[in-house]
């Protein structure tokens, strides 16, 4: 022990000291906390009236799939329709000044707000926006007519980068 090097053998105290009492109290307190936590989380059955808790959770493996993002987009759009809001989601780089001006006119005329969902174009963000815009398109068509709904989404389609085709023979 350390005391052998610090104190010579003839000066060492024998018996129960204050440090021993502190160590014993700390060990008992730690054991009590562990038992309390086990009973709180349902690991230990603390009586006949307590329900058994399940410690294993189910995992939805579709969490990061475009199908689930599409469903979440549709659900969010339905909630916005119920709240009386008309919005369309935009994915990609920020809009130009002309696109911003046109979006402002569409907001004034038809009360349709363009919202940037994400600047990163990924399959998940695209699927979310497609699901959201599909539900909103139907609602805009119901309120303002097919031509207006198609025109608003056509505005978004023109924003998407087109693939260039090389027409050299």
d(CA 147, CA 149): 6
Q: Is residue 113 part of a domain?
A: yes
> What average pLDDT does range 59-66 have in this prediction?
68
Range of the domain at 33: 15-43
Indicate if 19 and 92 belong to the same structural domain.
no
Check residue 118 and give its pLDDT. Answer: 75
Check residue 146 and give its pLDDT. Answer: 85
Residue 97 has pLDDT above 60, yes or no: yes
Q: Is residue 133 part of a domain?
A: yes
How distant, in Å, are the alpha carbons of 44, 52, 104, 141, 155 from that of 109?
64, 58, 9, 14, 15
Indicate if 142 and 71 belong to the same structural domain.
yes
Check residue 145 and give its pLDDT. Answer: 85
pTM of the model: 0.54
95-126 burial by CB neighbour count: b if 16+ within 10 A, else e? eeeebeeebeebeeebebebeebeeeeeebbb
Indicate if 105 and 34 belong to the same structural domain.
no
Residue bearing the bigger pLDDT, 152 or 89? 89
Indicate if 116 and 80 belong to the same structural domain.
yes
Q: Is residue 137 part of a domain?
A: yes
Alpha carbon 4 to chain centroid, angstroms: 59
Residues 116-151 pLDDT 10s: 877 888 888 889 999 998 999 898 888 888 888 777
For the chain, how many structural domains are there in total?
2
140 burial type by CB count under 10 A (0-12 exposed, 13-18 middle, 19+ buried): buried
Check residue 161 and give its pLDDT. Answer: 46
Q: Is residue 54 part of a domain?
A: no
C-beta of residue 89 within 8 angstroms of C-beta of residue 132: yes
Indicate if 79 and 133 belong to the same structural domain.
yes
């Amino acid at each position: 022990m350390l005391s052998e090097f610090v104190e010579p053998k003839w000066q060492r105290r024998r018996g129960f000291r204050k440090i021993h009492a502190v160590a014993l109290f700390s060990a008992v307190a730690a054991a009590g906390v562990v038992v309390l936590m086990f009973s709180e989380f349902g690991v230990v059955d603390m009586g006949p009236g307590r329900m058994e808790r399940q410690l294993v959770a189910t995992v939805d493996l579709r969490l990061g799939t475009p199908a689930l993002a599409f469903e979440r987009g549709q659900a969010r759009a339905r909630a916005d329709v119920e709240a009386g809001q008309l919005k369309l989601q935009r994915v990609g780089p920020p809009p130009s000044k002309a696109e911003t001006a046109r979006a402002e006119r569409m907001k004034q005329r038809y009360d349709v707000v363009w919202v940037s969902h994400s600047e990163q174009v990924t399959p998940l963000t695209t699927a979310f926006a497609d699901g959201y815009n599909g539900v909103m398109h139907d609602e805009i068509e119901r309120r303002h007519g097919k031509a207006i709904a198609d025109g608003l989404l056509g505005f978004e389609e023109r924003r998407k980068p087109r693939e260039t085709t090389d027409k050299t023979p």
